[in-house]
Amino acid sequence: MSEDPTTGALRPIDFDRLQEYLPELKQTGIRVKSIPFLPLIDSSDVHPPVWERLALLIQENYNDFDGFVVLHGTDTMAYSASALSFMLENLSKPVIFTGSQLPIGMMRSDAKENLLTAIEIATAKENGQAIVPEVCIFFEDTLFRGNRTTKKNAEHFSAFNSYNYPPLAKAGVHIKYFRSYIHYPSAGTNLRVRTNLDQNIAILKLFPGITEQTVNAILNIPKLKAIVLESFGAGNAPRRIWFYNALKEATERGILIVNITQCSTGSVEMGRYETSINLVNAGVMSGYDCTTEAIVTKLMYLLGEYVSSDDVKHRLSISMCGEMTVI
């Protein structure tokens, strides 16, 4: 990002200008090719067609590079990293998302170190193989699995966290990789890019006092195929009969409803408490410890790729690329 001298607002910056602030890039000996999105995109404007462009660009350049770094605004970075983790099947090279909280032209900007370390991680190999062949987010000093990450802070340099999964690496004087937490692809598999995404989903976040009219309005959105239900605690919801009836009627119409917790840490355990038994009886599925970003993009991916409801439900119940821990 850079600062508009007239308005003071932050705006995207092109890579050629970025390199003016990073003479160290030329000293690394790493061949870097930049492919800008024109016009440049603010992360608040990112949506599924942008993810498709990213996935196809990686596919087109896959055999020519050791890894990929995606410069991305922080606001929707976790959504983009989650989406790419599903779209890039059998990935065997690093795809590292990074960005900054302060524009690179500012004195205390975090952009420089974030980008240089992301490039080092993207090119890191051991015995000829990528050390981290995953879609990740690197920020401040930590490498996270992309589909486990959420933005936690709008002010501090430590902008992201992975509450339910350990970091994949920490950067200090040296970069320390935690290999037991890194996912490695099966031998002999080739990259397959999936770009069919279905956006006919919605999020229903529960709150005390939510009305029947509000719930019904969301459940009856035209062309709706799936709902992310953000429930209380370990997956709990009001026991009012109208709420149960609304959910049950929706699932009987073929709408998928996936339950995740509003809490940053922890997992849905449906049926553990009496207040979640109605959800089970209404046909609601568990999203376990998925982040909102991961379950939203997983649903878009599954609904776009699979016609059979049984196929979608099966894949919702398993961890496809490390996005959740199934209890």
**What contacts 209, CB < 8 A, 6 or more positions away?**
none
Q: How many domains does the chain have?
A: 2
| CATH number of the domain where residue 284 is located | 3.40.50.40
Same-domain check for residues 8 and 109: yes
Query: For residue 137, which of 43, 207, 251 has the smallest C-alpha distance?
Result: 43
Distances in whole angstroms, Cα of residue 166 to Cα of each of 85, 134, 170, 207, 294: 17, 14, 11, 30, 16
The H or E element that residue 2 is part of is strand 2-3
Would you place residue 7 in the very low, low, confident or very high pLDDT band (cuts 50, 70, 90)? very low
Across residues 253-268, what is the average pLDDT?
96
Q: Looking at residue 17, what is its pLDDT?
A: 62
Does the residue 324 lie in any domain? no
DSSP 142-208: EEEEGGG-EE--SSSS--EE-TTS--SEEESSSEEE-GGGS--PPTT---EE-------EEEEE--T
Of 135, 168, 193, the domain-final residue: 193
If you compute the radius of gyration of the chain from its CA atoms, what whole number of angstroms results? 21
Cα first-last separation, the chain: 41
Distances in whole angstroms, Cα of residue 308 to Cα of each of 196, 304, 311: 15, 11, 5
The residue among 259 and 156 whose pLDDT is bigger is: 259
Same-domain check for residues 232 and 269: yes
Same-domain check for residues 226 and 105: no
Query: For residue 58, which of 135, 155, 127 has the smallest C-alpha distance?
Result: 135
Same-domain check for residues 146 and 175: yes
Which token pair is 70?
């995606």
Tell me the per-residue pLDDT of 43-75, one tens digit each, with 9 for 90 and over: 899 999 999 999 999 999 999 999 999 999 899
Of 172, 193, 214, the domain-final residue: 193
Give yes or no for a contact between 35 and 6, defined as CB atoms under 8 angstroms apart.
Answer: no
**What contacts 69, CB < 8 A, 6 or more positions away?**
96, 97, 98, 115, 118, 119, 122
Does the residue 177 lie in any domain? yes
Q: Looking at residue 6, what is its pLDDT?
A: 43
Of 163, 193, 223, the domain-final residue: 193
pLDDT greater than 80 at residue 273: no
Predicted structure pTM score: 0.91
| CATH number of the domain where residue 170 is located | 3.40.50.1170
Would you place residue 26 in the very low, low, confident or very high pLDDT band (cuts 50, 70, 90)? low
Tell me the per-residue pLDDT of 125-181, one tens digit each, with 9 for 90 and over: 999 999 999 999 999 899 999 999 999 988 877 789 999 999 999 999 999 999 999
Same-domain check for residues 86 and 69: yes
Same-domain check for residues 280 and 307: yes
Per the prediction, the chain carries an average pLDDT of: 89
Helix 77-87 / helix 292-305 crossing angle, nearest 10 deg: 40
Same-domain check for residues 159 and 20: yes
Instruction: Give me the count of residues in the chain.
Output: 327
Judging by beta carbons within 10 Å of its beta carbon (0-12, 13-18, 19+), is residue 273 exposed, middle or buried?
middle
Would you place residue 282 in the very low, low, confident or very high pLDDT band (cuts 50, 70, 90)? very high
The H or E element that residue 231 is part of is strand 226-231
Residue ranges making up the domain that contains 155 = 2-193
Same-domain check for residues 248 and 272: yes
Across residues 305-326, what is the average pLDDT?
95
Q: Looking at residue 1, what is its pLDDT?
A: 41
Which token pair is 46?
């990112």
Separation between Cα atoms, residue 306 and residue 311, nearest integer Å: 7
Would you place residue 114 in the very low, low, confident or very high pLDDT band (cuts 50, 70, 90)? confident
Give yes or no for a contact between 116 and 24, defined as CB atoms under 8 angstroms apart.
Answer: yes
